């Protein structure tokens, strides 16, 4: 009797602490964020109250190889999100969203593209409908310290694949080449930590991995005294079930921020004669309630092309077309679909865009050039999202082979309900035949 009432009292106390925590994070956030939806990172805390108030909340953090681009990072988010979903079936875990910054492709000058919260680019509330999430700066506020209990640095196996055969395994190993985390005289590990120089870790280990994200679960849950774990080089982990239900749920939850979609919508309306009602591309506020009939979307009266240039064009890749050949193909498509308008999404420099337009005289060719305020507020990542959003609403889309930027547009169009034939297309490179392999169709699994 005594024992059970004592443990009930403990439960009550733990619950109270959680409520206080969520309240304090709420109010401090509300002060800062005013009308910002991002307050609901803490939707997380609420959700987790229903799960198991007795177990203490644990936090998963992650980072990615600095060389990786924005859209591969979105893919890694889906892998880690579903690991966190699996963890929550055991005990309450919150995913700490890694601040954006220092990306190789983000080259606009005069901008400080560092420590960018997820709410700049994505709807954090939408994310929290899939798994509990919190922004990094809120994590510091809630835990009271810029501290992480344990960092696992994920690496390959020094010996490579044994017998040339891939098998699933994870082992604690000596670090192969890691000089990135250093133990200071105070016993704390210092590292990059998204540019937060005050952040430190208490423990640091290297893990050799050849595994799906879900296989980290036993390692993460084994020691309850470790409250926060960071996985660096999380891109080493693979999808548990690529293209399956949870993949798509994570993907559907990864919605672009409303302020960016609004800018794209305005551009469509003014230049491309495109609006959701006419184009049958309405978005429902809560993605869990949005299930478009396949091929129900019509899209605006324009073709959208994603032309990945820069390093793709410089490296003489055989799957990249010359601007002239890309233009010839686009003319053919415009005739075929009886359209006059073309939207170009590209990372090409101005002179290449001009060259492309010169090859397309007689057609209305648009590309999105951000006003100064948009660039300042939402930076290169925001502009890329606006390009993707406009491309996602075209009647017909054609992208660049192997570009994850194009792949994310494919998915966006599946969610909006386009016919896959109008989506899964790519330019054939100058080094390929005109009947080159087209992208694989991935239908949404529900
Ligand atoms: N605004 C804009 N930016 C683009 C476009 N294409 C590429 N970029 C920029 O270049 C980056 C390309 O990197 P990713 O997003 O990783 O896509 P990727 O094409 O697979 O490139 P890699 O990762 O280098 O193979 C984007 O994140 C953008 O910053 C485009 O059409 N519009
Ligand atoms: C669990 O983690 C704590 C804190 O890092 C550490 O002191 C302890 O040795 C760990 N226990 C085991 C069994 O690894």
How does pLDDT run across 15-64, given as a tens digit for each residue? 444 444 443 443 333 333 333 333 344 444 445 455 545 678 999 999 99
Mean pLDDT, the chain, rounded, equals 89
Tell me the CATH class for 56-245.
alpha beta
Please tell me if the CB atom of residue 68 comes closer than 6 angstroms to any atom of ligand 2. Answer: no
Least confident piece of the model among 43-47, 53-57, 170-174, 259-263: 43-47
Tell me what pLDDT residue 54 has. Answer: 66
Q: At CB < 8 A and 24+ separation, what contacts does 358-364 make?
A: 359/323, 359/324, 359/327, 359/328, 360/327, 360/330, 360/331, 363/330, 363/331, 363/334, 364/340
Instruction: Give the confidence band of 115 by pLDDT, cuts at 50, 70, 90.
Output: very high
Ligand 1 centroid distance, CA of 70 (Å): 7
Which of 218, 223, 229, when mutated, tests ligand 2's pocket best, judged by the most ligand atoms within 8 Å of its CB?
223
The yes-or-no verdict on residue 107 having pLDDT over 60 is: yes
* Phi-psi group of 292: left, alpha or beta (phi > 0 → left; psi -120 to 50 → alpha; rest → beta): beta
Going by alpha carbons, the residue nearest to atom 16 of ligand 1 is 69
Which of 226, 227, 229, when mutated, tests ligand 2's pocket best, judged by the most ligand atoms within 8 Å of its CB?
226
Architecture of domain 256-422 in this structure: 3-Layer(aba) Sandwich (3.40)
Q: Domain residue spans in the chain? A: 17-54, 56-245, 256-422
Tell me what pLDDT residue 166 has. Answer: 80
Q: What is the pTM of this model?
A: 0.88
Instruction: Please tell me if the domain spanning 56-245 has the same topology as the one spanning 256-422.
Output: yes
Ligand 1 centroid distance, CA of 320 (Å): 14
Catalytic positions: 68
Please tell me if the CB atom of residue 178 comes closer than 6 angstroms to any atom of ligand 1. Answer: no
């Amino acid at each position: 009797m005594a024992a059970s009432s004592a443990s009930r009292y403990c439960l009550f106390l733990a619950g109270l602490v959680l409520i206080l925590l969520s309240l304090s994070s709420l109010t401090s956030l509300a002060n800062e964020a005013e009308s910002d939806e991002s307050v609901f990172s803490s939707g997380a805390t609420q959700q987790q109250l229903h799960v198991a108030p007795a177990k203490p909340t644990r936090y998963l953090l992650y980072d990615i190889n600095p060389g990786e681009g924005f859209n591969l990072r979105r893919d890694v988010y889906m892998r880690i999100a579903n690991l966190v979903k699996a963890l929550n079936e055991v005990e309450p875990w919150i995913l700490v969203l890694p601040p954006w910054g220092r990306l190789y492709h983000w080259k606009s000058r005069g901008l400080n593209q560092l420590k960018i919260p997820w709410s700049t680019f994505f709807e954090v509330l939408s994310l929290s409908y899939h798994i509990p999430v919190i922004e990094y700066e809120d994590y510091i506020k809630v835990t009271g310290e810029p501290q992480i209990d344990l960092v696992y640095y994920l690496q390959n196996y020094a010996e490579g694949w044994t017998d040339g055969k891939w098998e699933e395994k994870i082992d604690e190993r000596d670090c192969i080449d890691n000089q990135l985390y250093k133990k200071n005289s105070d016993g704390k590990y210092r590292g990059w930590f998204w540019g937060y120089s005050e952040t430190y870790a208490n423990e640091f280990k290297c893990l050799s991995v050849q595994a799906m994200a879900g296989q980290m679960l036993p390692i993460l849950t084994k020691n309850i005294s470790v409250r926060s774990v960071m996985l660096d080089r999380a891109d080493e982990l693979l999808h548990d079930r690529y293209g399956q239900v949870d993949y798509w749920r994570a993907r559907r939850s990864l919605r672009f921020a409303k302020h960016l979609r609004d800018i794209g919508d305005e551009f469509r309306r003014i230049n491309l004669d495109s609006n959701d009602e006419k184009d049958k591309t309405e978005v429902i506020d809560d993605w869990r309630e949005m299930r478009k009939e396949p091929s129900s979307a019509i899209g605006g009266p324009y073709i959208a092309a994603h032309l990945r240039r820069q390093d793709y064009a410089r490296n003489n890749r055989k799957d990249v077309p010359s601007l002239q050949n890309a233009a010839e193909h686009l003319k053919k498509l415009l005739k075929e679909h009886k359209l006059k308008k073309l939207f170009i999404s590209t990372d090409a420099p101005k002179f290449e865009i001009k060259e492309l337009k010169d090859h397309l005289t007689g057609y209305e060719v648009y590309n999105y050039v951000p006003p100064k305020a948009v660039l300042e507020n939402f930076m290169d990542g925001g502009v890329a999202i606006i390009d993707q959003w406009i491309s996602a609403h075209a009647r017909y889309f054609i992208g660049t082979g192997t570009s994850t930027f194009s792949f994310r547009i494919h998915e966006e169009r599946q969610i909006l309900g386009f016919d896959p034939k109008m989506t899964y297309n790519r330019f054939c490179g100058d080094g390929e035949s005109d009947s080159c392999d087209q992208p694989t169709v991935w239908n949404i699994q529900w």
